[in-house]
Structure 1
Amino acid sequence: MPSSSSTFVAGLTAAALATVGFLAFQASANMPADLAEPRRGAPAKAAKAPGNIASTALPDDSGVGERVVYALMADRVWLVAADGRVKRTFKVAPGSVDPLPGSYSVGSRSGAITGTDGTPIEHVVRFAEVDEVVIGFSTALDGSLPEPDPRVQTGGIRETVADGDAMWAFATIGRRVDVVR
């Protein structure tokens, strides 16, 4: 026959587990829609793509002034002059972790390093961090634009060599980076 103290502990444990389960359910039921969407690479993401994401037109909700604009759904970047003119636009190959939409600024740069995937890269322009994964633009020295490996948490947004050169010249420390869906 169990002792009264072990019965009491078992009862407390059961009550605690029930409370945690209830709170987890409540949190998931009240989660904002943008947080509940699947991460990059999940099949459902393509079905939610708005309009023509292949467009090279600067998104309407991309801020004002001199900035880098990064559109997550289009995997496209715009380098925008102070007067609002697009200096350059190009496609990119994102990593497996996306930054959240919002306004950031370039916090650090590196001329040449090894990427988290082991590839030698150059012209690294870092602007965000998500769950301890650093997000930034870079160019692979071998010119590769790989598909993200969903098993590895990477924040490198790869560009061609020519586009990486343009980003490096434009996105200096403090330059604003506006991320839009």
Structure 2
Amino acid sequence: MDELFKGVADPVRRQMLELLLKQPLNVNQINEHFGDISRQAVSKHLNILEACAWIKIYQAGRERYGYLNKAAFYAMREWLQAYLDQDRASLDNDHGVFLEHSTYKKGDPLTYPVMLQAMLSKDKDFDTLFYIAVKTTGIFCRPFCPANPRPDNVIFYLNREEALRNNYRACKRCTP
């Protein structure tokens, strides 16, 4: 996987992949699209793409044609699929946190990672299931509170009475 990322790390190589998406091209045809870099640099980028398995080179006489290696794209898609399959509802917020609801079913004990992700994603589905106490401010909030405490400054409580017993006061923004 590291090799695949190395191959697409450079914008010139990504442009080359876009060109090859349309049709296989020989080195001269690819070079025509990059007037600001030398032919040797184009060849070097093509060699890197080939070494990283993004493209294959077909030798036809003196001409070398580059074409896309479908297997590399499938490998990248397979790696990304785990992230893309996450709960799409968590993409509706501006926090960009993936929260897979299959890891938590209502009634299951809450784990620290589930509570942390619910806090970061401001998930309203977890309202009243737990509360977030912020050590640095002395307040406690609901999981969807607009406050953004640092994760290392929070303690999770399963009920508001427990937070009150530990001398935390209710947030005035989310009124837990």
TM-score (norm 1): 0.30
As a proportion of its length, which structure holds more strand? 1
TM-score (norm 2): 0.30
Indicate the structure whose relative CO is greater, using CA pairs within 8 Å and at least 6 residues apart. Answer: 1
Higher-Rg structure is: 2
